[in-house]
Amino acid sequence: MKNNNPANEVVTHVLVNSLGGITSMEDNVIRYRGPNALPQKAIFLDVREKTASGSEGVFGGGIPVSHFSFSQKENWYSIYNRLARLVDTEEGVLVMNDVYEMIMLTHFNIRKKTVQLVHDAYNVRLAVQYGDVADAFICHSRFYYEVMLQLFPGRRKDIFHIPYGIPVPPGVPERITTPKIRLVFLGRHDRMKGIFDLVEIEKILAAQGISTDWLILGRGPETAALKEQWNAFPNVTFLSPESNAEVLQKLGERDVLVFPTKFEGFPVALLEAMGTGCVPVASELPGGLRELIRNGVNGYLCEMDNNVAFAEKIALLYRDRDLLSSLSRNARADVVAGYNVLLQSPKYQDLFKTLAGSKGNPVHHGVKKKLGSRLDQPWLPNSIVKILRKTR
């Protein structure tokens, strides 16, 4: 039965415990939620098979955070029964980011209404598979909003386009021109982020006599391999900032964000860089990259995997520092005007509150699907399932 007491309504964010764009985005939604938001809490999924760079110390601004640890080799019934009990401690809203919580809702009922965040093509695929458990969808980019409307024409009223925001530094010191062009990469150290293209771009620039200073921010499963690739280059620094404030400070000291990603939705790293006046040179991909970067006005878009094109745009900015300054001012102005976290995050919270107070059962109560395989049964002990899966 619906409890009309708002004090019993909580927004619960479930995230895989890794430091990446989605974590940063949700961190901003929580930290800058505004005075009228419902109480917030978070559950980090510690998936043993995943290489994770934990988010402790950089997330949530003091909200309650708990951990749910599991192996994908366990009995799925056991996993999702335990997760459902952890989530279902009060009414409110569940904010979904990944497959695990969506699978849970296909079999177990909780009292919360649900929102799926649609950040990129991966989340669209999840919506196609499991969207019948979501009461609402929030799309960060106009592109994926239109994709969702095409895929779910009967659910237009449940699909929302709300760009997220970032903390915009109140003022950015004027950059001092140096003989070197100061380049930066920010993001998870993963092959799909294009991290192994960075040194190839550096080789092209060096052959042209262009003097560079690289800063590679972040960490991830490929950090060790990336550092090894740069072993012969003295003009690079690796850094894993411990706070968002440090990230913004480092970006504010750089000239150009080099972002040769292969797969992207609405990248937080891009917004953060542009907000400090760091000019992006990025892959041309549908979604946030095309929506945020105005080619030749506030940055440049390059054909994906075309390292020569990336080097050409960086060389242009190296040789024309007036152009670099103009693009820098435009990049910051665009973020200040449209992506200020103080304005955007309360929009998310308003939707959460409206959904929490809406009548009727959550839509997933009408969904009942089988979990996993023949090994995922309520009567099979978890220990036996793990042994069987290890032997297979």
Which range has the worst mean pLDDT, 104-118, 160-174, 259-273, 339-353?
A: 160-174
Phi, psi values for residue 160, rounded to 5° = -125, 145
pLDDT of amino acid 55: 57
Biggest CA pair distance of the chain: 71
Is the Cα torsion angle 94, 106, 98, 71 positive or negative in sign?
positive
- Structure-token pair, residue 269: 């790293």
pLDDT tier at 371 (50, 70, 90 boundaries)?
A: confident
* 176-201 confidence digits (pLDDT tens): 778 999 999 999 899 999 999 999 99
How far apart CA 320 and CA 237 sit, in angstroms, is 25
How far apart CA 64 and CA 256 sit, in angstroms, is 37
How far apart CA 152 and CA 250 sit, in angstroms, is 42
pLDDT of amino acid 373: 82
How far apart CA 272 and CA 248 sit, in angstroms, is 7
- Using the predicted structure, report yes or no on whether residue 2 has a pLDDT greater than 50: no
* 341-352 confidence digits (pLDDT tens): 999 999 999 999
pTM of the predicted model over 0.75? yes
* 185-244 confidence digits (pLDDT tens): 999 899 999 999 999 999 999 999 999 999 999 988 899 999 999 999 999 999 998 777
Distance (Å) of CA 245 to CA 52, 168, 187, 241, 259: 22, 10, 15, 9, 21
Q: Which amino acid is at 128?
A: V
The number of CA neighbours under 13 Å toward the Cβ of 359 is 0
80 neighbors 371 (Cβ within 8 angstroms)? yes
113 neighbors 31 (Cβ within 8 angstroms)? no
Closest alpha carbon to 138 in 106, 110, 164, 104? 164
Q: What is the mean pLDDT of residues 347-369?
A: 96
pLDDT tier at 7 (50, 70, 90 boundaries)?
A: low
- Average pLDDT of the chain is 91
Closest alpha carbon to 258 in 325, 192, 311? 311
DSSP at 339? -
How far apart CA 75 and CA 83 sit, in angstroms, is 13
Count of beta carbons in the 10 Å neighbourhood of residue 68: 18
pLDDT of amino acid 378: 85
Q: What is the mean pLDDT of residues 303-310?
A: 97
pLDDT of amino acid 136: 98
279 neighbors 257 (Cβ within 8 angstroms)? yes
How far apart CA 236 and CA 199 sit, in angstroms, is 10
Distance (Å) of CA 102 to CA 95, 105, 133, 298, 376: 10, 5, 7, 38, 17
- Domains of the chain in sequence order: 6-165+342-391 (3.40.50.2000), 181-338 (3.40.50.2000)
